[in-house]
Amino acid sequence: MSSIKSLALLALATGFASVVNAAETGKTTRYWDCCKGSCSWPGKAAVSAPVTTCDKSDNPLTDANTASACDGGSAYMCSDQSPWAVSDTLAYGFAATNIAGGSEESWCCSCYKLTFTTTSIAGKTMIVQSTNTGGDLGSNQFDIAIPGGGTGIFNACTDEYNAPSSGWGAQYGGISTNTCSSFPKALQAGCGFRFDWFEGADNPEVEFERVECPAEIVAKSGCKRDDDGQQLKFAAAAASSSPVAASSASSSSPVAASSTEAAPVVSSAAEVTSAASSTSEATTSSEASVSSAAAYKAPVADSSAVESSAAPYTAPAVESSAIESSAAAYTPTTPIVSSYSAVEVSSTSLSSATAPSSTGSSEDGPCNVQYVYEYDL
């Protein structure tokens, strides 16, 4: 009765998995040019609204058609589109992207889970929303928006913040040491992210897959794709190890738990099997009961009078039709588990106990399983 299909269904039913996309490999770089992002223009994709832009004083603009400051207009990148740490191992942010096989229509305002595979931050995870693209980006490249990361082709930071003529640091790569305290106050936290959570990593490689955008990211960009709800739901709690200090998460909007991020994510059928096997020993699924020939530890009778004074016993599970009402020996008709460990029982006059039955389903139809525990007093 047990199969990968049934275990996958069990995992989905109990919140252990959700639909997944195959991970791809890519690379990251960094930039901050202060310009209006490409996905801030109307009509780029099926979204709730284009990515929010700000004026020179960092106030949100309401006209999505305002020209970019990099083209002589007055629309700039908002400072709150800087990255921030959610925990020691998880961060959120934004990026200019170029995804192989796609276009702005498919990636504008899409969110991607980046799992770093190289440098000192290998194993850490970052969720970024695509807010821009670039003619200088290669295939499957994520140019993460980090203040002080280099301006690249364009530069509106000199106009907006009186930055040096080529921006802060090198045109590509930006500053090489932590001089973030000299940056405009609105950009200091985002700049410091690179030397704190990001550990100064230089263009680490990643495995990436599209996920549903966390509410915290959408709250900053103002952009949500129409198909966003169809994407894999990423569980922040599953990737987080511990909360970070408030100083490393000084973003303009608080980080709050999203109602759509309730279930841990499993990225393969093998992980689904692992997740299903990690359920408690008191699971009520008959599918899980037969998935392994390992020893089963029978639960201790739930009574205040129970004491540890019984010898090991063998009590194979049987179909309900074979159960007798007396405490006499019986012949099991359908053994389910090959062995049991010793159980502690009461020294009182309890002669037998019947565990609650559980009803499961499989490809062969309903299956009623009832465990009978018999104690030799």
Gap between the Cα atoms of 287 and 10, Å rounded: 8
Residue 63 known to be catalytic:
no
Gap between the Cα atoms of 377 and 350, Å rounded: 8
Q: Report yes or no: 288 and 276 within 8 Å, Cβ to Cβ.
A: yes
152: left (phi over 0), alpha (psi -120 to 50) or beta: left
Beta-carbon contacts of 172 under 8 Å, excluding residues fewer than 6 positions away, are 29, 150, 152
Catalytic residue among 33, 80, 143, 196: 33
Nearest to 160 by CA among 60, 62, 251, 79: 79
Tokens of 377: 């007093």
**HEC profile for the chain?**
CCCHHHHHHHHHHCCCCCCCCCCEEEEEEEECCCECCHHHCCCCCCECCCCCCECCCCCECCCCCCCEHHHCCCEECCHHHCCEECECCEEEEEEEEECCCCCHHHHCCCEEEEEECCCCCCCCEEEEEEEECCCCCCCCEEEEECCCCCCCCCCCHHHHHCCCCCCCCECCCECCCCCHHHCCHHHHHHHHHHHCCCCCCCCCEEEEEEECCCHHHHHHHCCCECCHHHCCCCCHHHHCCCECCHHHHCCCCCCCCCCCCCCCCCCCHHHHHHHHHCCCCCCCCHHHHCCCCCCECCCCCCCCCCCCCCCCCCCCCECHHHCCCCCCCCCCCCCCCCCECCCCCCCCCCCEEECCCEEEEECCEEEEEECEEECCC
Q: Report yes or no: 156 and 31 within 8 Å, Cβ to Cβ.
A: no
Residues with a catalytic annotation lie at 33
